[in-house]
Each structure stands twice: as structure tokens, then as C-alpha cells.
């Protein structure tokens, strides 16, 4: 077992994959959104406005806001079809081409003659996008819904806007059930920032790539060469026969979970090189690591598989 990104060439770049502007329901113009993320120390963002007819199906050209230290990836939050609860699908598509064809989605209400969520997700992936199941807890996503979205690369496991607005930020219930069914998905944390409240700079991805360029970042996302964070940094992970070594910034907890209930963990103070025994997870086909710092902020690694 291994986390391939730690041996991959390149460095880690910090980015937000889920952001809104005045092109849909955000409070700030696209240029100001980009300026604020750059000023906060981000290396890149994806501006992902709501891809519905009410907003004229926006895929905003953010190329003018790129420079030598900051870049952008085109994308959108795409919508089409009803989930089991009757609400419209929300799907994150990062790396969409500017000419991605709209679905018949005039508003946030599903209508009869439109693509299903699975169909628009598949079309986005075929067009080259990194596709993510957005805020499954907030959406009240069912297991049946999640199973049907087979084009997804990953699941949004922390959404900062959903955390501060409705206390419904998590996606682990969805992710882990799909992992248990053999779906090899990864995870991401996002802001889903609208800048109409304290919904920004709370969750991000650290992407390992050789350059801070859209194509390189997108390829790394699809390869799973990234982790999600609210603050802690994960520098290396070494899997051994019955333990895992996690090298990180200073943390107070390192945990490893798998397919069964519970998991393994180590508590401490200012831990930077932490060994966790994983004997109790010996029968789990997959495992994932998370760390927590003294302020309660977490970072999460993509799942690894034994075979």
C-alpha cells in the first residue's frame, strides 16, 4: 500500500475547487473573488458558478486573473435531474471546456425533459472535467443517488459554506459506503464560497503537481495526488505491515479508519512523526488517514487500497 502522491514529482499547491461569483449567486465579481483568494495565499481556484439557465449557464473565463503565482481552472456547479428527494442535483465539475453544452436546466427546480444527474456528470467527465459529488449531507443524498453517479472521481467530504450556514458539511457517510462497495473514489474539501457570510478560507485541497498550471493541476486531481485540509499539513505517509507512519505539521490526533466500525488512533501533543498500529484494520480492503491539530482543524488523505 502507498500514497503515490508523496513520491510523485512536484510540490503541493493550495487551491479551492468550489467558488461562486456574481455570475450566479455570489456576492463578488469574478475578479474580486480571485484577488481575495490570491491575497489569502492560495495558489489557484476554480470559479464554479451555478450552471443553470437563470444565470445564463455561466462558465466564467478567469484566465485574465492568472499570473506567475496564481492560476485558475475553469469549471461550474452543474445541475440536472431530480435526486430521490425530488431536489435538483448539485455536481462539481472542475476543468470544463468553455463551450460545454448546457443541459435543459432553466432553474433550480427539476423538470421532466432534462438529463439525469448521472447523464450530465458523465458528459462532464467525458469533456475532461474532474467530477465531484457536492455536499452530500446538505443535499440529503441517498445511497441510491450516490450509487447512480458512476462518473464521479470523488466526494466533497467537507464544505465550509454548509458548515457555517446549516451545520451539514460532511460527506464521509456517502464516501465510505461507496468505498465499501468497491468504488475507488477520492475526497476533497472546499469552501463553496459566496462571500455573503463567513463561508470562505475554511477548507481546501493541497494538490501535488510539477507546475501551478491548470492542466497539471487537473491531471493531479484526477490521479488522486492531493489531500484535503482545514489547516494541518501532511508531509509523508509510509505504510508498513501493521502500522502507518504519518509525517505532518504539529497535530494532537492521527486516526486511520477502514471498512468496519471504529478505527485506530494515537493522541499526543505536537506530534509530527506518528506511528499508528493498524492490526485491527487487517481485513479492510481500504483505509484512509486523518489528522487533527490543537485547534480542532483537520486534514484528510485520499483512501488507499490493499490491492
Q: Is the pLDDT of residue 1 over 80?
A: no
Q: What share of the chain is helix, strand, coil (3-state, %, to 5)?
A: 20, 35, 45
Considering the chain, what percentage of its residues have pLDDT values greater than 70?
100
Residues in CB range of 46: below 8 A, 6 or more apart: 15, 16, 17, 18, 19, 72, 73, 74, 75, 94, 95
Tell me the C-alpha distance between 65 and 55, whole Å. 21
pLDDT tens for 19-64 read 999 999 999 999 999 999 999 999 999 999 999 999 999 999 999 9
Dump the DSSP string for 92-158: EEES--TTPPP-S--SSS--TTS--HHHHHHHHHHTT-EEEE--HHHHT--HHHHHH-TT-SEEEEE
Question: pLDDT at position 39, please?
Answer: 98
Question: pLDDT at position 241, please?
Answer: 87
Q: Is the pLDDT of residue 243 over 90?
A: yes
pLDDT tens for 277-288 read 999 999 999 999
Question: pLDDT at position 187, please?
Answer: 98
Dump the DSSP string for 183-203: ---EEEEE--B-SSSS-SSS-
What is the band of 290 on the pLDDT scale with cuts at 50, 70, 90?
Answer: very high
pLDDT tens for 163-188 read 999 999 999 999 999 999 999 999 99
pLDDT tens for 88-138 read 999 999 999 999 999 999 999 999 999 999 999 999 999 999 999 999 999
What is the band of 193 on the pLDDT scale with cuts at 50, 70, 90?
Answer: very high
Domains recognised in the chain with CATH numbers: 4-229 (3.20.20.140), 234-305 (2.60.40)
pLDDT, mean over the chain: 97
Which residue from 74, 45, 64, 59 is spatially nearest to 191, judged by alpha carbons?
Answer: 45
pTM of the model: 0.97
Question: pLDDT at position 35, please?
Answer: 98
Question: pLDDT at position 3, please?
Answer: 81
Amino acid at each position: 500500500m502507498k500514497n503515490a502522491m508523496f513520491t510523485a514529482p512536484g510540490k503541493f499547491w493550495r487551491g479551492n475547487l468550489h467558488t461562486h461569483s456574481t455570475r450566479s449567486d455570489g456576492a463578488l465579481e469574478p475578479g474580486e473573488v480571485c484577488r481575495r483568494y490570491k491575497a489569502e495565499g492560495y495558489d489557484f481556484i476554480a470559479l464554479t458558478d451555478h450552471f443553470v439557465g437563470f444565470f445564463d449557464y455561466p462558465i466564467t473565463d478567469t484566465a485574465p486573473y492568472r499570473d506567475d503565482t496564481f492560476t485558475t481552472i475553469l469549471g461550474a456547479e452543474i445541475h440536472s435531474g431530480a435526486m430521490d428527494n425530488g431536489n435538483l442535483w448539485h455536481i462539481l465539475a472542475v476543468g470544463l471546456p468553455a463551450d460545454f453544452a448546457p443541459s435543459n436546466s432553466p432553474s433550480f427546480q427539476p423538470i421532466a425533459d432534462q438529463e439525469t444527474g448521472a447523464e450530465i456528470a458523465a458528459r462532464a467527465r467525458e469533456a475532461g472535467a474532474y467530477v465531484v459529488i457536492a455536499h452530500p449531507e446538505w443535499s440529503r443524498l441517498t445511497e441510491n443517488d450516490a450509487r447512480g453517479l458512476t462518473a464521479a472521481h470523488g466526494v466533497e467530504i467537507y464544505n465550509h459554506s454548509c458548515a457555517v450556514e446549516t451545520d451539514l458539511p460532511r460527506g464521509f457517510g456517502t464516501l465510505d459506503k461507496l468505498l465499501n462497495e468497491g468504488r475507488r473514489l477520492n475526497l476533497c474539501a472546499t469552501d463553496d464560497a459566496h462571500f455573503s457570510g463567513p463561508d470562505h478560507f475554511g477548507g481546501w485541497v493541497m494538490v501535488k503537481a510539477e507546475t501551478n498550471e491548470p492542466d497539471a493541476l487537473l491531471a493531479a486531481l484526477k490521479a488522486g495526488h492531493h489531500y484535503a485540509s482545514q489547516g494541518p499539513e501532511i508531509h509523508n505517509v509510509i505504510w508498513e505491515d501493521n502500522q502507518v507512519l504519518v509525517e505532518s505539521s504539529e497535530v494532537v490526533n492521527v486516526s486511520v479508519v477502514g471498512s468496519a466500525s471504529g478505527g485506530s488512533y494515537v493522541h499526543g501533543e505536537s506530534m509530527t512523526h506518528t506511528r499508528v498500529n493498524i492490526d485491527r484494520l487487517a481485513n479492510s480492503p481500504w483505509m484512509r488517514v486523518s489528522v487533527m491539530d490543537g485547534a480542532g482543524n483537520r486534514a484528510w488523505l485520499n483512501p488507499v487500497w490493499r490491492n
